[in-house]
Amino acid sequence: EAQVTQNPRYLITVTGKKLTVTCSQNMNHEYMSWYRQDPGLGLRQIYYSMNVEVTDKGDVPEGYKVSRKEKRNFPLILESPSPNQTSLYFCASTSGGIANEQFFGPGTRLTVL
Amino acid sequence: AQSVTQLDSQVPVFEEAPVELRCNYSSSVSVYLFWYVQYPNQGLQLLLKYLSGSTLVKGINGFEAEFNKSQTSFHLRKPSVHISDTAEYFCALLFSGGYNKLIFGAGTRLAVHP
């Protein structure tokens, strides 16, 4: 089954404790991205990757890092989480070519105390 | 800059009634438009998209949307809703030169009541 998986689905942590949210897709997609969803703001892009070892900032990259060492994986790293990073996070992937369908993971709900 | 405005944050409606969820966009370049649905505790699922051609686009689950360039709108409609349509709906755009970055509206929560 074609899918995007994220782990963990739920996470409660404390300020300053480094964490990683994993994202993996099994569709051999080149393009992957991370979004955060906040009430009243919709989804905003954090980082994206056009292929292995090619990443760039989205609209709200502050406080986040990513890496793309393999085509299927695109982890999101919070080196020192803060309460304003409490949010619902989605990973997405799509094949090359404009306007192809983006496939979203199930989401990771992060709470930073 | 590009932006998407969803004019209603919440839309309550009775089962079997018609519904329209409104979406307006702003862009100085060509855009592609999408509607996504998010059911509780799930990721986003594509309902339909407008790339070019016919301005009336049909999607899954009986939804359709009409692209109106002069009014910069892309409203979503369904003639008769079901309880199972209760979800959050997001309008989004891609613009030429924006790679695959989706720009989302704030979302509209559709609540279908029996």
* Nearest one of B75, B62, B66, B68 to B16, comparing CA atoms: B62
pLDDT given for residue B36 in this prediction? 96
B9: distance to nearest CA of chain A, Å? 8
Averaged over B66-90, what is the pLDDT?
Answer: 96
Give chain B's radius of gyration (CA, Å): 14
| A42 close contact with B: CB closer than 8 A | yes
A102: distance to nearest CA of chain B, Å? 8
Mean pLDDT over each residue of chain B, to the nearest integer: 93
pLDDT per residue as tens digits for the range B14-53: 999 999 999 999 988 888 999 999 998 888 999 999 988 8
Mutate which: B3, B100, B108, vs A, most A CBs within 10 A: B100
pLDDT given for residue A111 in this prediction? 98
pLDDT per residue as tens digits for the range A88-101: 999 999 986 667 78
pLDDT given for residue A63 in this prediction? 97
What residues have CB less than 8 Å from B62, skipping those under 6 apart? Answer: B78, B79, B80
B90: distance to nearest CA of chain A, Å? 7
Q: Does the pLDDT of residue B98 top 70, yes or no? A: no
| A11 close contact with B: CB closer than 8 A | no
pLDDT given for residue B34 in this prediction? 95
pLDDT per residue as tens digits for the range A19-64: 999 999 999 999 999 999 999 899 999 999 999 999 999 999 999 9
pLDDT given for residue A20 in this prediction? 98
Averaged over A11-16, what is the pLDDT?
Answer: 96
Both tokens of B76, joined, read 């979503």
Averaged over B8-12, what is the pLDDT?
Answer: 96
pLDDT given for residue B59 in this prediction? 95
Confidence of residue B2 (pLDDT cuts 50, 70, 90): confident
| A4 close contact with B: CB closer than 8 A | yes
What residues have CB less than 8 Å from B21, skipping those under 6 apart? Answer: B6, B8, B11, B35, B75, B76, B77, B89, B91, B108, B110
pLDDT given for residue A100 in this prediction? 78
Nearest to A99 among B44, B51, B104 (CB): B51
The CA distance from B57 to B95, in Å, is 18
